[in-house]
């Protein structure tokens, strides 16, 4: 039973609320409006109900009605990685950046080598990496994930994911496999190192990734104090 609740995040198909269970545990409650989004609910429940890893967000419970679905997760009080990389007056030390990168990689490796099938996330990006009380990273939002045989591929009817993070090969052939997540994670690593967004819709000409990596100004102007 939820004894207290308030909204903390709004996304396309619903809202995320902060709540307190009757056992005093603080949780995040993801509200999914069923209007065409029931597939997202089923995927998240199926993916997270049987797996457990310190670098994956923990699913506490779920419930469903005719028009609404609710997913209850552990609360990650430090928000998501994007807020800390791109938000104002927020700074991550190099040690924290390294720990977040390594922890996220461990979570991704667990998904890709899971004994019951490779779980391809398909939407790895800073907003889907949540940060626990000690800034431990936890991969979240499994609404686009696909479970396939390890080493195999899956032919998708459409390209799913977020612009700027989608593997170009996947965009061309629409074959889903773990390498797409690896590409997306590489983009995230570049952002962790540079502290910059790798794409900007306001720019007439995007900055090439290799220029971001080779430009020392982008790398060494990051504040080092948390």
The model's pLDDT over 176-196, given as tens digits with 9 standing for 90+, comes to 889 999 999 999 999 999 888
Mean predicted confidence (pLDDT) in 145-158: 82
Which of 4, 89, 123, 181 is labelled catalytic?
A: 123
1, pLDDT greater than 60 = no
Give the model's confidence band at 224: pLDDT under 50 very low, under 70 low, under 90 confident, else very high. very low
pLDDT digit string, tens, across residues 79-125: 999 999 988 888 899 999 999 999 999 999 999 999 888 999 999 99
What pLDDT was estimated at residue 11? 53
33, pLDDT greater than 80 = no
Least trusted range by pLDDT, from 14-18, 42-46, 69-73, 214-218 = 214-218
What pLDDT was estimated at residue 34? 62
Residue-range domains of the chain with CATH: 2-74 (3.30.200.20), 81-220 (1.10.510.10)
What pLDDT was estimated at residue 35? 60
Give the model's confidence band at 37: pLDDT under 50 very low, under 70 low, under 90 confident, else very high. low
Give the model's confidence band at 225: pLDDT under 50 very low, under 70 low, under 90 confident, else very high. very low
What pLDDT was estimated at residue 219? 40
206, pLDDT greater than 90 = no
Report which of residues 17 and 202 the model is more confident about.
17
215, pLDDT greater than 60 = no
40, pLDDT greater than 90 = no
Our answer to whether residue 123 is catalytic in this structure is yes
3-state secondary structure the chain: CEEEEEEEEEECCEEEEEEEECCCCEEEEEEEECCCCHHHHHHHHHHHCCCCCCCECCEEEEEECCCEEEEEEECCCCCEHHHHHHCCCCCCCHHHHHHHHHHHHHHHHHHHCCCCCEEECCCCCHHHEEECCCCCEEECCCCCCEEECCCCCEECCCCCCCCCCCCHHHHHHCEECHHHHHHHHHHHHHHHHHCCCCCCCCCCCCCCHHHHHHCHHHHHCCCCCC
What pLDDT was estimated at residue 211? 61
């Amino acid at each position: 039973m939820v004894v207290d609740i308030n909204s903390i995040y709004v996304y396309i198909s619903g809202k995320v609320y902060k709540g307190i269970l009757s056992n005093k545990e603080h949780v995040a409650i993801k509200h999914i409006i069923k209007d065409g989004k029931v597939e997202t609910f089923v995927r998240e429940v199926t993916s997270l109900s049987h797996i457990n890893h310190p670098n994956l967000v923990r699913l506490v419970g779920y419930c469903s009605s005719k028009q609404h679905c609710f997913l209850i997760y552990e609360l990650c009080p430090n928000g998501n990685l994007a807020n800390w990389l791109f938000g104002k007056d927020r700074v991550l030390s190099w040690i924290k950046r390294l720990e977040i990168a390594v922890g996220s990689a461990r979570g991704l490796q667990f998904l890709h080598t899971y004994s019951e099938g490779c779980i391809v996330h398909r939407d790895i990006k800073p907003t889907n990496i949540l940060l626990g009380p000690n800034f431990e990273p936890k991969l979240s939002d499994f609404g686009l994930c696909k479970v396939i045989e390890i080493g195999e591929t899956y032919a998708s009817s459409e390209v799913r994911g977020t612009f700027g993070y989608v593997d170009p090969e996947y965009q061309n052939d629409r074959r889903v496999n773990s390498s797409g997540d690896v590409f997306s994670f590489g983009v995230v690593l570049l952002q962790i190192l540079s502290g910059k967004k790798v794409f900007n819709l306001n720019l007439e000409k995007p900055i090439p990734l290799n220029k971001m990596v080779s430009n020392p100004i982008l790398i060494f102007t990051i504040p080092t104090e948390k």
